Every structure is written in structure tokens, then in C-alpha cells.
């Protein structure tokens, strides 16, 4: 029940922040969509130990900021590759990734696909198959794996590394 309430509050805040329109009709539509989504989530039994929204809640904004930064950097890198096609060396990379939850692997695969220069081709039980445009794009996958491990709460190495970078 606590997870459901947390999900309702999280979805409501997200909807209010994204919509930016606070007229009664729009708020009523938002409430209706919130009720529908919550009903579907409960009916599908998505909320529970496996998909507990509180697991990632406080780490997620920081992960999003890091991912957004990486997406911008990768966009610039891919734009440079477009003007220097001789540097493009496409490759298929198999990454052995082991996360605490299947959701970690999904986050890894989706973030990889969102980042220009890499596309997740397949998720397997023991890893992922990824297409990368060049060696630099393929090398960035290790950092992504480390960040998803941190997001799952497995290690605080990322926090320590970030603190060291901020001091410089």
C-alpha cells in the first residue's frame, strides 16, 4: 500500500511539473489519467518488491542528469563522426552485465539506446548485445554499467568519484 501511495504522489508531481497548465479541466484530466494508470499498475501487479518505486527515487534525478550530459556529449561525438566517416568503425559488442534486478538491465539497455552512437540489440540473461559506431562509443558502456549499479544501490563509488571531481 505504501508503494502505491508513493507511486500516486510521484506520478501526480511529475504530471503537474510536465503539464504546466493548472486549469480545472486539465487538472481533472490529469486526475483521471492518474486513476487509470494506478488502476492498471495495481491490476498488472507491477508494484511490489521487484518494481518498488522507492528503490531508485532519490538516486534517479542524479542518474538522469548524468545520462543527459552523456547524451549531449555523445551527440557531439556522433556529429564529428558524420564529418569524418573514415573514423566510423561499427562493431557489435557483447557486455556481461549482472544487476540486482531485471529492471537494472532494462535501464542499462534503454540508456544505451538513448545515447547516440550505441544501440541495444538484444538483452540476454547474462548480458547485452550492443551495436556501437566506434571504439569510443563502445568504451563508454563500462561507465554506464557502473552508474546503473550505483542507481540500484550496489555501490557508492560513483558518489565518491563525483565528490573528487567536484573538488578539482
Phi, psi of 119 (to 5 degrees): -140, 130
Task: Please tell me whether residues 38 and 108 are part of one structural domain.
Answer: no
Residue 25 lies in a domain: yes
Residues of the chain above pLDDT 70, percent: 86
128 occurs within a structural domain: yes
Element at 74 (helix H, strand E): helix 60-83
The domain total for the chain is 2
User: 129 and 104, same structural domain?
Assistant: yes
Say if 55 falls within a structural domain. Answer: no
Question: Domain check: are 94 and 147 in the same one?
Answer: yes
- Tens digit of pLDDT for each residue in 53-73? 566 677 888 999 999 999 999
* Residues 25 and 90 both lie in one domain: no
Asked if 9 and 91 sit in the same domain, the reply is: no
pLDDT digits (tens, 9 = 90+) for 110-158: 999 999 999 999 988 888 999 999 999 999 999 999 999 998 887 655 5
Domain carrying residue 119: 60-167
Q: Are residues 162 and 99 in the same domain?
A: yes
Whether 110 maps to a domain, the answer reads yes
> Is 76 part of a structural domain of the chain?
yes
CB hemisphere CA count around 90 (13 angstroms) = 6
- Residue 117 φ/ψ region, left for φ over 0, alpha for ψ in the -120 to 50 degree band, beta for the rest: left
Query: Is pLDDT of 84 > 50?
Result: yes
pTM beyond 0.75, yes or no: no
Amino acid at each position: 500500500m505504501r508503494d502505491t501511495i508513493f507511486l500516486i504522489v510521484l506520478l501526480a508531481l511529475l504530471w503537474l511539473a510536465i503539464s504546466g497548465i493548472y486549469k480545472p479541466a486539465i487538472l481533472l484530466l490529469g486526475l483521471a489519467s492518474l486513476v487509470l494508470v494506478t488502476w492498471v499498475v495495481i491490476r498488472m501487479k507491477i508494484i511490489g518488491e521487484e518494481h518498488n518505486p522507492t528503490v531508485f527515487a532519490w538516486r534517479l534525478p542524479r542518474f538522469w542528469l548524468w545520462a543527459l550530459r552523456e547524451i549531449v556529449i555523445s551527440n557531439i561525438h556522433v556529429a564529428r563522426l558524420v564529418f569524418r566517416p573514415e573514423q566510423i568503425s561499427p562493431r557489435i559488442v557483447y557486455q556481461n552485465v549482472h544487476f540486482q534486478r531485471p529492471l537494472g538491465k532494462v535501464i542499462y539497455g534503454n540508456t544505451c539506446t538513448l545515447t547516440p552512437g550505441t544501440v541495444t540489440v538484444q538483452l540476454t540473461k547474462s548480458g547485452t548485445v550492443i551495436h556501437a559506431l566506434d571504439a569510443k562509443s563502445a568504451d563508454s558502456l563500462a561507465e554506464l554499467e557502473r552508474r546503473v549499479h550505483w542507481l540500484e544501490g550496489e555501490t557508492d563509488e560513483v558518489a565518491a568519484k563525483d565528490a573528487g571531481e567536484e573538488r578539482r
